[in-house]
Structures are given as C-alpha cells and as structure tokens.
Structure 1
C-alpha cells in the first residue's frame, strides 16, 4: 500500500525517478525534471501522463516532426517505434508506464 503525492516529489537531478510498481515487467514510475530528455524510441509501448507542470512533446510520424503542449492531466501514448522527446516547460512531474528497462 502506497500513497504518493506527486507535488511533494523533487529529484536531485533531471529525470529523477521514484519507482511505484513493477507489474509483470511493466514499470510505473514518477519522474521529476526541469530539463529535456533525449530523442529516443522505446522498445515497447509507453504511456506518459503529466501530473504537474507542462511538457512540450516532440514526436516523429513518417519522418515528420510534430509537437504538442501537454498540460496537467494530458496523456501521451507512444506506440512501438514512435521516436519522441519530452521538453518540460519549467519543472514537471510525469507518470511513465513502460516495459522494464526501457530507455
């Protein structure tokens, strides 16, 4: 049993993670960041939920770059092979659900 208050979680470095659960190889982690990640492709699907702050999500479809500004409560789903990068607009807290060991 856990109760997690995302607004109280702050990392020592960008993309610091708090492991919440690992359910048969699928991890749920709370991330704190104030810096962009890197362009990457996960080796599985990813669900990305903004819990606090704003995140500019850049992603590519058929080689064309797109952008979406994600607000609190917004969900970004990256299917297998979706190249993407998250750029927080200031501090952000993000819930990420993905295959264990994914980038």
Structure 2
C-alpha cells in the first residue's frame, strides 16, 4: 500500500515520470510537465487524466488537427492509432495509463 500526493511531485525535467504500478504490461505513471510533448502515436491505447493544472490536447482526426482543453479531473482517451500531443498551460500533473514502454 502506498499513497501518492500528486502535487508534491515536482521533478527538474518536463515529462519526468513516477512509476505507480504495472498491470501485466500496462503502466500507470504520474508525469509532471510545463512543456509540450511531441506528436506521437502510442503502441496501444492511452488514458491521460489531468490531476493538476490544465492541458490543451491536440489530436488528428481524419487528417484535421483538433484541440480540447483538459482541466483538473478531465480525461482524454487515445484509441489505437490516435496521433496526439499534449500542451500544458503552465505546470501540470497527469496520470498516464498505457502499454509499458510506449512512446
């Protein structure tokens, strides 16, 4: 048993992660960032939950870039093949659940 206080996680590097759990090849990680990530497609599905702050998620749908603003408590689900990139609005902490060793 372990408790994590996400607001206390403040590493020195954007997108640094704290490993929470691994369920048969699915990783659960807490990330901190104040910088955009990179456009990518995961090796499987991804659940991206904003715990603190706000993140503007950009994603491509039928070749068109779309955006959604995720606030604390909001969740973005990237199905297989969804190209996306997260743009934090200041500092943000997110819980990411995805296939282990995914991009």
Scaled to the shorter chain, the TM-score interval is: over 0.9
Correspondence 1:15 to 2:19: no
Alpha-carbon offset, residue 74 of structure 1: 0.3
Cα separation, 2, equivalents of 1:44 and 1:71: 24
| Alignment TM-score, normalising by the size of structure 2 | 0.99
TM alignment of 1:29-44, pairs within 5 A: 29-44=29-44
Cα separation, 1, equivalents of 2:62 and 2:96: 24
TM alignment of 1:56-67, pairs within 5 A: 56-67=56-67
Correspondence 1:5 to 2:18: no
| Alignment TM-score, normalising by the size of structure 1 | 0.99
Cα separation, 1, equivalents of 2:41 and 2:82: 6
Give the secondary-structure state (helix, strand or coil) at the position aligned to 1:7: helix
Q: Which runs of 5+ in 2 are unaligned?
A: none
Structure 1 moving runs of 4+ over 2 Å: none
Q: Which runs of 5+ in 1 are unaligned?
A: none
Correspondence 1:102 to 2:102: yes
Structure with more of its chain in strand, by fraction: 2
